[in-house]
Amino acid sequence: MTESHDNTIDALIPEVAAELVEALNLDETPEEIDPDEPLFGDGLGLDSIDVLEIALVVSRRYGLNLRSDDDRNEQIFASLRDLCRFIAENRTK
């Protein structure tokens, strides 16, 4: 990965964190979300319904087509940083 690509991911993190907080009505602030913490389980504690909400928000905002049957979903949604990496690599908006 290039430094520019890493900077793009880092720039997306607060933006996407804010989108998550708003869309999911989270108690945390965007700044409190650790970008490397798992989004599910012991991490942020999201569930499969939350993934659908995230996918909808990300699809609309960044022009991505996230599908529930995508084999990469576990990797894409592993953490906020992983989600931002996917957005940076695939966005159309």
Q: Phi and psi at residue 46, in whole multiples of 5°?
A: -75, 160
Q: What is the Cα–Cα distance from 13 to 81, expressed in whole angstroms?
A: 7
Nearest Cα to Cα of residue 17 among 83, 91, 78:
83
Range of the domain at 53: 3-90
- pLDDT digit string, tens, across residues 29-38: 999 999 999 9
Report yes or no on whether pTM surpasses 0.85.
yes
State the CATH number of the domain containing residue 67.
1.10.1200.10
Compute how many other C-beta atoms are within 10 angstroms of the C-beta atom of residue 30: 17
pLDDT at 4 over 80: no
Above pLDDT 90, what percent of the chain? 70
User: What is the number of domains present in the chain?
Assistant: 1
Q: At 7, list the tokens.
A: 């900077």
